[in-house]
Amino acid sequence: MPDGDTLGSSYALCSALIKMGKNARVICADKLPAQYDFFTKRVDFPEFTPETIISVDVADVKLLGGLRAEYEDKIVFAIDHHASHRDFAENLFLDGTAAAAAECVYDIIRELGVQFDEVIAAALYTGIATDTGCFKFSNTSPKTHVIAAELMVYGIEESEINRIMFDTKTKGRMAIEKAAMRSMEFCFNDRCAIMPITTKMLRDSGCTNTDLDGITAIPRSVEGVLVGVTLRQRGAKDWKVSMRSYPPVDVSAICAEMNGGGHMCAAGCEVTGTLRQAKKEILKHVKKALEEISCKD
């Protein structure tokens, strides 16, 4: 399931290599999402038998998916930006400070001395924009902005790219958001919002797994909410719980009490029971955490 950075960085690198007179093409285990057609369809691959395999934005060899069996022992060069990268290639270019693999590929293309063009710039911009939530997230560095400024010089349609990436929702996404927001309840003086997503809601909305990306951000996005809880139904009495918080609430501690875990502001666990029982169980722990915070005030 390649994302904007995986595709942006790989197509930019491939395009640069072709400009250098190399035979190069991009391969991916999965079908490419149509929203990236504006650059993926514009790189023409020559016919050839590959001698050198490079991986881009792949943090773990497992993520090669359907291509793993064929290629895992043959990767000569891995280009990545995940600090959690698990070494698998003969050579590694890892920049854990880069917001996107596209930042690494930008550096490499410069180093190779290849002239940037609109296709390369659009691919790299897409990688950077998608991995940073359009320069919104904390992984955005001054260098990220400087690269964006340089890429814009090549005549890319960045506001159209951003519209496709950030301002377009599928009908399925719209339907599940509507249903999820309708099911959301507020508790403890509106400091907690809890949003159940049942299998019925998923079925009725006709949404795909991709449509659910980031939906767990909704409950915490309401002003004043310190703990946002999303309950996703897995089976009749089986719920996957995602909690998001703002300091000082530590949801990893709350989830640990229910045999889960995670980070201070993003954690998860599983609970069993009817929806009513699951909510009651979760809210009991959230209540305790909020009371502890009130005491400290």
CB of 164 to a second copy, least distance (A): 9
Which is closer to a second copy, CB of 27 or CB of 222? 222
Whether 245 and 217 have beta carbons less than 8 Å apart is answered as: no
- The DSSP-derived string for 171-210 is HHHHHHHHHHHHH-EEETTTTEEEEEE-HHHHHHHT--TG
CB of 166 to a second copy, least distance (A): 6
CB of 146 to a second copy, least distance (A): 5
Distance CA 25, CA 183 (A): 47
Distance CA 10, CA 40 (A): 10
Which is closer to a second copy, CB of 18 or CB of 165? 165
Residue the block writes with tokens 């950030």? 166
Distance CA 6, CA 26 (A): 11
Which is closer to a second copy, CB of 263 or CB of 288? 263
> Which residues share a beta bridge with 268?
242, 261
Enumerate long-range contacts of 180-183, CB under 8 Å, 24 or more apart. 180/215, 180/218, 180/230, 181/218
Neighbours of 182 (CB within 10 A): 9
Which is closer to a second copy, CB of 57 or CB of 211? 211
Give the pairing type, strands 53-56 and 75-80. parallel
- Interacting residue ranges for a second copy, rule: CB under 8 A: 133-138, 140-146, 148-150, 152-153, 158-159, 162-163, 166-171, 174, 177-178, 181-182, 184, 186, 190, 217, 221-224
Which is closer to a second copy, CB of 15 or CB of 140? 140
CA-based torsion, 41, 46, 47, 52: positive or negative: negative
CB of 150 to a second copy, least distance (A): 7
CB of 221 to a second copy, least distance (A): 5
CB of 96 to a second copy, least distance (A): 17
Distance CA 211, CA 217 (A): 13
Which is closer to a second copy, CB of 7 or CB of 193? 193
Distance CA 19, CA 159 (A): 27
CB of 228 to a second copy, least distance (A): 11
Distance CA 284, CA 32 (A): 44
CB of 272 to a second copy, least distance (A): 29
Which is closer to a second copy, CB of 45 or CB of 166? 166
Give the pairing type, strands 192-197 and 227-235. parallel
Which is closer to a second copy, CB of 17 or CB of 102? 102
